[in-house]
Amino acid sequence: MTSEEFDPAHLIDHLVYGVLDLKAAVDRIADATGVRPVEGGRHVGRGTRNYLLGLSPTSYLEVIALDRENPVAEGKRVSFGLDVLDQDRLITWAIHPTDAGAALKASRQYGADHGDLFAMSRVDAKGNELSWRLASADAAPYDGLAPFIIDWGTSPHPAGGVPAARLETLTLSSPAHEQVTELLRALGVQITVGDGPAGLHATLRGPAGTVEI
């Protein structure tokens, strides 16, 4: 699915690119595209840290890894299973629907239960506090292909002012491709999921070229 057919500014909020070595992944993206992701911040208590690459004023690529200097708090889980990640890959993605509650209900009807919205926050690289509500299940429905739900409320979107590349392709495949396609249609996302092993892949283009993730 090309980005001409799917406008990232419409519903997509961000793609979650889990990596083993944050600096190496940022360098690879920067070298390939000519656009360097910038530091996002630390998720205190969650044990993770991220860098961001804009895709539109309201969508971005999140490059995220374990933060060895920020251990996960007792009783909390490491986001996106990064503590068991064995290779760099797109883990899942998020959308920012106008009505988060309705999107959660629609997701459940199509077999993707993300749980309830809960509050999160972090301080960005400029010292600004960002806050949002998120619904994301520990066991990602449909192997992460069912987008989780985020609501930024009145908080400024973190993609604003971030160096950007173009989302050239976004491709999904699943053994349950028909069900996932129906789920996405119910959420207003016009992507047809291919038949095959569960996978989420993207191609990003910048002034220096492209990178596949």
* Within-domain flag for 16: yes
Instruction: Write out the chain in H/E/C secondary structure.
Output: CECCCCCCCCCEEEEEEECCCHHHHHHHHHHHHCCCCEEEEEECCCCEEEEEEEEECCEEEEEEEECCCCCCCCCCCCHHHHHHCCCCEEEEEEECCCCHHHHHHHHHHCCCCCCCCEEEEEEECCCCEEEEEEECCCCCHHHHCCCEEEECCCCCCCCCCCCECEEEEEEEEECCHHHHHHHHHHCCCCCCCEECCCEEEEEEEECCEEEEC
Is residue 75 very low, low, confident or very high in pLDDT (cuts 50, 70, 90)? Answer: confident
Mean pLDDT of 47-67: 95
Query: Per residue in 78-96, pLDDT tens?
Result: 889 999 999 999 999 999 9
Does 50 score more than 90 pLDDT?
A: yes
pTM above 0.85, yes or no: yes
* Within-domain flag for 34: yes
* Within-domain flag for 18: yes
CA 107 to chain centre: 17
* Within-domain flag for 129: yes
Whole-number pLDDT of residue 212 = 97
* Within-domain flag for 197: no
* Within-domain flag for 175: no
Structural domain harbouring 94: 12-163
Whole-number pLDDT of residue 196 = 97
Whole-number pLDDT of residue 2 = 40
* Within-domain flag for 172: no
Does 113 score more than 80 pLDDT?
A: yes
Of the candidates 99, 162, 100, the one whose C-alpha atom is nearest the C-alpha of residue 128 is 162
Does 9 score more than 60 pLDDT?
A: no
Whole-number pLDDT of residue 52 = 97
Whole-number pLDDT of residue 126 = 75
Whole-number pLDDT of residue 1 = 44
Whole-number pLDDT of residue 3 = 40
- Mean pLDDT, the chain, as a whole number? 90
| CATH assignment of the domain containing 115 | 3.10.180.10
* Within-domain flag for 104: yes
Is residue 42 very low, low, confident or very high in pLDDT (cuts 50, 70, 90)? Answer: confident
Tokens representing 39 are: 């530091």
Question: What is the total count of domains within the chain?
Answer: 1
What percent of the chain lies above the pLDDT cut of 90? Answer: 69
Using the structure block, give the residue that is written with the tokens 């053994």: 175
